[in-house]
Amino acid sequence: MEAARSTQVIEKSAMPDKTTTAKQAKISATRFPLVHKLSTLADFRRWHKGMREALAASNRQAGAYEGWGKRWQKRLAAAECEKQMLEIEMQ
């Protein structure tokens, strides 16, 4: 009998009251402006991150983006070419 009574109490307390939902509904940007601004900023940063990734992907597909390997290969080739030019000038 006691076990049945305790489960009934738990079930009743698990049900949300209308008063608690009304109290929770009072959370707004006017009451908590910093939280609202931070959540807006997080959404804004997330959107910009997606836009940056989309731009990088489109540039990669268009061939405008060069990876670091290509850049260093070109720098190495330019350095070797300059070295050969200096060797020719010295002779």
pLDDT digits (tens, 9 = 90+) for 22-80: 455 566 666 667 776 777 777 778 888 888 888 888 877 666 556 777 888 999 999 99
Residues 82 and 89 sit within 8 Å (Cβ to Cβ): no
DSSP state of 15: S
- Overall average pLDDT of the 15-20 stretch: 53
Phi and psi angles of residue 31, each rounded to the nearest 5 degrees, phi first: -80, -35
> What pLDDT does 1 receive?
47
Q: How far apart are CA 91 and CA 89, in angstroms?
A: 6
Residues 56 and 65 sit within 8 Å (Cβ to Cβ): yes
Contacts of 56 (CB under 8 A, 6+ apart): 65
> What pLDDT does 91 receive?
81
